[in-house]
Homo-oligomer: A and B are copies of this chain.
């Protein structure tokens, strides 16, 4: 069953679109992160959404999941090569978003909670 997109941007939107995925990817930049730590980093996300989105990112080849057989359980997530390259692209997007907000909303009408990349 083929997937059909109008253009390549839609492919990327399908991968990082929605409320949480970009935030997750940007927090996976510095090496492996445990599930609980990630939940703490991605402010406001529920466990259900975190696991769900991580699973989707894994299926799309952007995130790898490592399980350590120990008690208590330990699971770590990190970016794959694909994920890392996408993160570089997101950096470009971030920079544009930054300029956009600064120029268009110079008086804090728009608030960025986690000001990344600058």
Contact = CB atoms under 8 A, between A and B. Distances in A.
Interface residues of A, number: 50
A30 interface: no
A43 interface: yes
Given A17-B17, A108-B2, A110-B2, A23 B7 contact: yes
Given A92-B89, A92-B92, A104-B61, A11 B111 contact: no
- How many of these chains are in the complex? 2
Contacts of A99: 85
Interface string A99-118: 11101100011111111110
Given A17-B17, A61-B104, A89-B96, A43 B8 contact: no
Interface string A1-42: 011111111111101110100110010000000000000001
A76 to B, nearest CB: 22
B11 A97 contact: yes
